[in-house]
Amino acid sequence: MMVIRPVKMADLDDIVDLASKTGSGLTTLPHSREHLQRKIENSLAAFDKTENNPCDECYLFVLEDTKTGQVVGTSGVVAAVGTSKPFYTYKLNTEVHYSISMDIYRKLNFLTLTNDFTGASEICTLFLSPDFRGGGNGILLSRSRFLFMAEHPERFGDRVCAEMRGVSDDTGRSPFWESVGRHFFGVDFETADKENGEGNNQFIAELMPHHPVYVPMLSEEAQAVLGEVHEQTRPAVQMLKAEGFRYTGYVDIFDGGPTIEAPVKEVLTVRDSILLEVEIGSSDPHSASNAMLSNTGLKDFRACLAKLAPPKDNHVVITQECADALGVKAGDTVRVRYY
Q: What angle do CA 180, 184, 189 make, to 5 degrees?
A: 60
Answer yes or no: 230 catalytic.
yes
C-alpha span between 58 and 29 (Å, rounded): 13
Q: Cα–Cα distance between 119 and 83 in angstroms, integer?
A: 6
Alpha-carbon distances of 291 from 33, 125, 156, 165, rounded to whole Å: 35, 24, 24, 28
- Whole-number Å distance between alpha carbons of 328 and 112: 49
What CA–CA distance (Å, rounded) separates 38 from 40? 5
> Helix, strand, coil shares of the chain as percentages rounded to 5?
30, 30, 40
**Are 155 and 301 spatial neighbours (Cβ–Cβ below 8 Å)?**
no
Q: Which H or E run includes 119?
A: none
Do residues 268 and 243 lie in contact, with contact meaning Cβ atoms separated by under 8 Å?
yes
Helix/strand/coil for 290: strand
Q: Which of 35, 97, 183, 230 is catalytic?
A: 230
Among 328, 314, 305, 269, residue whose Cα is nearest residue 148: 269
Positions annotated as catalytic residues are 230
